[in-house]
Amino acid sequence: MTDTLQTLVQAFDRMAATYELMARRLGGQIEQLEAERTALRAHLADLSQQQITLLRSNQDLARLTADLSGQVTSLTHRAEEIRRQDQLKSELLATVSHELRTPLTSIKGALSVLLAEDPPSPEVRSEFLGIAHQNVERVMRLIGNFLNLARIEAGEIGVVPRPLDLVEVLRGVLARMRGPAAERRVSLELEAPAGPLPLTGDPEMLESVFSNLLDNAVKFSPEGALVTVRVEATPQAVTVHVRDRGPGIPPEEAPRVFERFFRGTPATNRRVPGTGLGLHISKVIVEAHGGRIGVESRIGEGSTFTVTLPRGGPAPAP
Amino acid sequence: MPVVLLAEDEPDIVRLVTYILRRDGFLVRTATTGQEAVEAARQGEVDLILLDIMLPELNGYGVCAALREDPLTRGIPIVVMSARAQAKEVARGLAAGAVSYITKPFEPAQLGEQIRAALAAAAAGRAQGGAGEDLHR
């Protein structure tokens, strides 16, 4: 019995020792795992910090990319604009050259015929002096328009308002247009109130406006047609209607006729000479006077350009 | 007298050139659009065409092309007289088939001579059996 008990005790002791050993090993493993877990936690914290940093730099990059592509777009636009301006400039140069050479051809031709014939017959003299004179007017109108354009582009239209008689201005313009009108057998008619029509404005500039409108009306008139200039006055404003019986302006082009260099299809199809400047300049001048310019047109019936000017002149600069 | 067909739409230049050419011994017929010029040339009795470029309906280049296509008018020498004076425009006119290119403003005293020279060159071309066609190359 004692033996048996002893054996049992010994077995228990061995078991206890084994368990103790196992417990110690497990404790060690738990500690190790604990340490690993701590290390992993630290690593995770590190990683999420890194992720935040990455996200931030990603956002920065996206912003930068957006910025850059914005800059690329604006540069592309600017390059396009420069190209367009360049093309406009070379077109303008070709137009100026053509529009100056044409009247100069007539002036030079007429004068050399007159010089070659000594003395020319009275008919030849009057015909060819007339041609030279009209074409000098045409060159002057052209140069006036280019000078005004240059002023407009420089931002100084330079209206010098002073008292003037609008009827006198219109009569002067009509008198100068009689020659070119007669050549196309176009009659010019002025319907104005009797007596002077005083208003404050720049006479040279207004002359240039009505000269451009009359020039267009005559150029677009069919042979033998009538161009009417009708003047209406109220105590506050004067309205001038310049009406032609030309081909009319297509409705989709009417809003564009006052744009710089714009030439409508009736002008380009019929090869009516011009630069696309007259109406643009006229609008700038009329608006610098505090007035308005507009057009009403019907295809096949003609166009009426209407200028309204305040009689008191442009509002004083603020 | 040689017959010149003047294709020009500026009335003052028509009057002037007509006067100068008649004075210098030519018969002058006129057309004021490109289409009119082509039709007038097809009707015959035209020795030379003095052609503006900026013509209504059909421009000068179009007139050249139409005349070259038609065996009836292929041999008529064309002299361009235009206010388009840039080198590339002159080159384009000559490429279209003009035998010479006069820029505006032209020299009125030399116009007759320039036209006679073009007529003589065309006649020489025909004598060589080129029927004037070679002149357009």
Query: Out of 3.30.70.260, 3.40.50.300, 3.40.50.410, 3.40.50.2300, which CATH number does the structure's domain B3-136 have?
Result: 3.40.50.2300
Q: Do A291 and A221 form a contact (C-beta atoms < 8 A)?
A: no
CA distance B136 to B98: 7
Coil, strand, or helix at residue A232? strand
Q: With cut-offs at 50, 70 and 90, classify the pLDDT of residue A316.
A: low
Question: Min CA distance, A88 vs chain B (Å)?
Answer: 16
| Cα dihedral across residues A254, A259, A262, A263: positive or negative | positive
CA distance A33 to A21: 18
Closest C-alpha to B80, from B104, B58, B57: B104
Q: Which of A271, A272, A275 to mutate to test the interface with B (most CBs of B within 10 A)?
A: A271
Q: With cut-offs at 50, 70 and 90, classify the pLDDT of residue A154.
A: confident
pLDDT higher than threshold 90 for residue A179: no
Lowest-pLDDT choice from A85-99, A120-134, A287-301: A85-99
Q: Which of B16, B55, B89 to mutate to test the interface with A (most CBs of A within 10 A)?
A: B16
**Is B87 an interface residue toward A (CB < 8 Å)?**
no
Quick one: average pLDDT of B21-37?
95
Strands A302-310 and A237-243: antiparallel
Closest C-alpha to A270, from A184, A210, A209: A184
Who's near A93: CB < 8 A, 6+ residues apart? none
Q: Using one digit for the tens of pLDDT, what is the confidence trace for A35-71?
A: 999 999 999 999 999 999 999 999 999 999 999 999 9
- What's the pLDDT at B112? 95
CB pairs under 8 A between A and B: 75
**Is B16 an interface residue toward A (CB < 8 Å)?**
yes
Q: With cut-offs at 50, 70 and 90, classify the pLDDT of residue A130.
A: very high
CA distance B137 to B123: 16
- What's the pLDDT at B129? 63
Q: Where are the beta strands (DSSP E) in A76-167?
A: 162-165
- What's the pLDDT at B86? 86
CA distance B58 to B36: 9
In chain B, the percentage of residues whose pLDDT exceeds 70 is 93
Q: Using one digit for the tens of pLDDT, what is the confidence trace for A71-97?
A: 999 999 999 999 988 887 887 788 888
Lowest-pLDDT choice from A223-232, A235-244, A276-285: A276-285
Quick one: average pLDDT of A146-173?
88
pLDDT higher than threshold 70 for residue A145: yes
pLDDT higher than threshold 60 for residue B131: no
- What's the pLDDT at B47? 96
- The 8-class DSSP code of residue A254 comes to G
State whether B15 and A116 contact (CB < 8 Å): no
Q: Using one digit for the tens of pLDDT, what is the confidence trace for B35-75?
A: 999 999 999 899 999 999 988 889 999 999 999 999 999 99
User: In this structure, how many other beta carbons lie within 10 angstroms of the beta carbon of residue A277?
Assistant: 23
- What's the pLDDT at A277? 86
Top-confidence residue, A94 or B78: B78
State whether A271 and B83 contact (CB < 8 Å): no
- Residues of A within 8 A of B11 (CB-CB) are 183-184
Model pTM score: 0.71
Q: With cut-offs at 50, 70 and 90, classify the pLDDT of residue A265.
A: confident
- What's the pLDDT at A96? 83
Written as six digits, the tokens of B20 are 């100068």
Domain boundary assignment for chain B: 3-136
Top-confidence residue, B132 or B28: B28
- Residues of B within 8 A of A184 (CB-CB) are 11
Q: Do B28 and B40 form a contact (C-beta atoms < 8 A)?
A: no
CA distance B94 to B136: 8
- What's the pLDDT at A261? 78
User: In this structure, how many other beta carbons lie within 10 angstroms of the beta carbon of residue B120?
Assistant: 11
State whether B83 and A102 contact (CB < 8 Å): yes
**What integer best gives the mean pLDDT of chain A?**
90
Q: Do B47 and B79 form a contact (C-beta atoms < 8 A)?
A: no
Element at A247 (helix H, strand E) = none
Q: Shortest CB distance from A131 goes to which of B15, B83, B84?
A: B15
pLDDT higher than threshold 90 for residue A165: yes
Q: CA nearest B102 in A: which residue?
A: A105
Q: CA nearest A100 in B: which residue?
A: B83
**What integer best gives the mean pLDDT of chain B?**
90
Q: Using one digit for the tens of pLDDT, what is the confidence trace for A188-220?
A: 999 998 889 999 999 999 999 999 999 999 999
Top-confidence residue, A94 or B133: A94
- Strands of the A292-298 sheet, one edge to the other: A187-191, A226-233, A237-243, A302-310, A292-298
* ipTM of this complex: 0.87
In chain A, the percentage of residues whose pLDDT exceeds 90 is 65
Q: Using one digit for the tens of pLDDT, what is the confidence trace for A94-113?
A: 888 888 999 999 999 999 99
Q: With cut-offs at 50, 70 and 90, classify the pLDDT of residue A119.
A: confident
CA distance A130 to A111: 11
User: In this structure, how many other beta carbons lie within 10 angstroms of the beta carbon of residue A116?
Assistant: 12
